Amino acid sequence: MNAITSLADVLALEAEPAPALPSSSYELIAAAAAAHPSAPALSFFARVEDHASPLVWSYAELLDGIHATANLLHELGVGPSDVVAFVLPNLPQTHLVIWGGQAGGIVFPINPLLEAAAIADLLRASQAKVLVTQAPGSELWAKLEPVLSTVDSLERVLLLDPASVVPAETLEAASAALPKRIGVLDFASGLRRQTKDRLVSGRKFAPSDVSSYFCTGGTTGAPKIAMRMHGNEVANAWSTGQLLGDGMGPGRNIFCGLPLFHVNGVLVTGLLPFSRGAHVILGTPLGYRDSAVVTRFWELVEQHRIHFFSAVPTLYAALLQQPMQGRDVSSLQYGLCGAAPMPLELLRSFEHRTGIRILEGYGLTEATCVSSCNPPQGERRPGSIGLRLPRQAMKAVVLDDKGAYVRDCEPDEVGLLVISGPNVFSGYKVTEHNQGLWVDCCDGKRWLNTGDLGRQDADGYFYLTGRRKELIIRGGHNIDPASIEGPLHRHAAVQLAAAVGRPDAHAGELPVAYVQLKAGASASEEELLAFAKEQIAERAAVPKSIRVVERLPLTGVGKIFKPELRQREIADALRTALHEAGTPATRLEVVNDPQLGIQVLVDLADKTQTSLAREVLGRFAFPCELS
């Protein structure tokens, strides 16, 4: 494969006849298994202490497991339109459920860190027919068991013990705790009795068949569930592979530490390497949330000759604090960084200290996963999200006040980012959520409104300059402000509530809530914070602080003007960081440049501290001008 190094290479590839791609994720993996049956496909270690002796599955064994899982689901009555949900940590069996679930029906990953009520909401919203989760004795089962009876669509619960078969008495106890309409089975025992060399259903796939649901919004109100097709997943795996090149081919070792309920873990360190004969190393059920994975990461790289990993900025910041102790990490070609902006100082420090290249990219669940990335073999431009993927169009456009298309942006002109291509999903499950989702650019294509603002330079590199959508991104985890504001509005004293992200050098952003009280009402910030902790379903969404203000800023039509609140938090966070570092600012002004986005202007009290101030400010993802 010729490496993609520039936009010219992308255009040259697109000038060639379109490749004949498989119709489904199942066929994509099956083709790799046919080409590399004895090659290692998946390795797993449950504890970092045991990483030198992982469990290993060949491609033939992985495909056998996918067949068995799909056939078990078929036996349970799962068809192409039925939903198989799972609430699981990162386990080899999780991959069997993902790809076997897609071969039989529609798979729906759910974040196990959500509270039980939120998980039940998602199961009901998706009309899940089957749930796969951990067996009694686990924290997951203790959390889920009380709410499963509220899911009317649920017919089967498959219980999984990663180490063994679930005992009959445990299955009986679990069954007794649930309504009689819900059958309870052991996942491992169910697989053992299945045919492993083919799909018993004989299913014929079409690219338009729905393969997966992913939740993209908050947990209040009707959950926002993205419906993705087999053709989306196949196209995104192919096009991302073209950009990343041979780094994902046979003999390459890919480390997976991101969760398998997230599209990055599933595609970039899942379907993509599986489609190309690479080897995925699954590092403990908790992945990067396992502190031992972080502290011994360089040891893992050396031992397993890891070539590639994908992570968020907070993980790169944590790895920068871990001593390398002379470890041989020469196998590591590059790491991919997405989900949140990468602070420039962090990128430079990481690459300088480790010698490992970071590829900044951009993607979203609605476009399967990856939409753009800096090319591994070409020029990497810090602060850029790179070149668009081949066969996926991407551009910045100007809209009028009513949201209608006016024109394409000129080079370096900021506009709304829109994308079009075979990786773009079919829409959200709830029709109302699709309002404003598509932009008619008057060219016959279907353009997805990403909600992000950005620009494209003359060489085809894209840059994010802001977000039209209001998600708070904490450690790569998307938090819908509504999941904070809704519960706060239930407090008797609250008139208005607005949640925004506060910049944080470690987490990227932390949620902060502004509250305007009702006339004559009183409530302290401490009282409101305690209320929020009780009411908010998602622990990551609980605000770090709540600020009671006399009046929230409003737009001319009476909407809360969140950009002003965000700029307040940016200024306060950066001013605090400089003060704590011993280099206070006499002036720190946050401005929203129409072309470059947020810019920070700083005057220092002590001009001799300029280098220290640059280091401190470089931990945040904002261009700063010191004077």
- Closest to 122 measured CA to CA, from 266, 227, 264, 220: 220
The Cα 492–Cα 581 span in angstroms is 41
- By the 8 A CB rule, do 199 and 130 touch? no
pLDDT of 411 above 90: yes
Q: How confident is the model at residue 606 (pLDDT cuts 50, 70, 90)?
A: confident
Lowest mean pLDDT, pick from 264-273, 499-508, 557-566, 588-597: 588-597
Tell me whether residue 42 is exposed, middle or buried, using C-beta atoms within 10 angstroms of its C-beta: 0 to 12, 13 to 18, 19 or more. buried
- Contact, 509 vs 502, CB < 8 A? yes
Q: Give pLDDT, residue 317.
A: 78
Measured from the Cβ of residue 38, the count of other Cβ atoms closer than 10 Å reads 9
pLDDT for the residue numbered 593:
67
Look at residue 22 in the predicted model and tell me its pLDDT.
Answer: 96
For the stretch 89-116, pLDDT in tens is 999 999 999 999 999 999 999 999 888 9
Question: Which of 347 and 286 is assigned the larger pLDDT?
Answer: 286
Dihedral of the alpha carbons of 437, 440, 446, 452, in degrees to the nearest 10: -50
Confidence of residue 469 (pLDDT cuts 50, 70, 90): low
Burial level of 524, CB count in 10 A (0-12/13-18/19+)? exposed
If you average pLDDT over residues 526-548, what whole number do you get? 90
Output the pLDDT for position 221: 44
Q: What is the pLDDT of residue 476?
A: 66
Main-chain dihedrals φ then ψ at residue 64, nearest 5 degrees: -60, -45
Extended beta strands in 505-544, E state: 508-517
The mean pLDDT of 14-38, rounded to a whole number, is 96
* Cross-strand bridge partners of residue 478: 473
Integer distance in angstroms from the first to the last C-alpha of the chain? 48
Q: pTM above the 0.85 mark? A: no
The dihedral of CA 415, 420, 423, 427: what is its sign?
Answer: positive
Residue 382 clears pLDDT 90, i.e. is over it? no
Query: How far is Cα 602 from Cα 579, in angstroms, rounded to an integer?
Result: 13
- pLDDT confidence band for 278 (50 / 70 / 90): very high
Q: In the numeric block, which tokens belong to residue 64?
A: 């056998």
Q: In the predicted model, is pLDDT for residue 471 greater than 80?
A: no
Q: What is the dihedral of CA 207, 213, 217, 218, to 10 degrees?
A: 180
| Pair of tokens at residue 363 | 């993607």
Mean pLDDT score across all residues of the chain: 90
Going by pLDDT thresholds of 50, 70 and 90, the confidence category of residue 559 is: low
Question: Does residue 356 register a pLDDT over 50?
Answer: yes
For tokens 């198989």, the residue is 84
Token pair recorded at residue 459: 């060489």
CB contact at 8 A, 510 and 501: yes
Q: Is pLDDT above 50 for 257? A: yes
Angle at 505 between CA 504 and CA 508, to 5 degrees: 55
Q: How far is CA 234 from CA 201, 382, 433, in A?
A: 21, 29, 25
Distance CA(565)–CA(554), nearest Å, equals 11
Residue owning tokens 């069996």: 93
DSSP states of 49-96 as a string?
Answer: GGTTS-EEEEHHHHHHHHHHHHHHHHHTT--TT-EEEEE--S-HHHHH
Band of pLDDT at residue 54, cut at 50, 70 and 90: very high
* pLDDT per position as a tens digit, 296-335: 999 999 999 999 999 887 788 788 888 988 899 999 988 9
Query: Residues 6 or more apart from 594 whose CB is under 8 A from it?
Result: 414
The answer for residues whose C-beta is within 8 angstroms of residue 477's C-beta and 6 or more apart is 339, 540
State yes or no: pLDDT of 30 exceeds 90: yes
Min mean pLDDT across 3-17, 161-175, 349-363, 607-621 is at 607-621
- Among residues 81, 92, 134, 89, the alpha carbon closest in space to that of 109 is found at 89
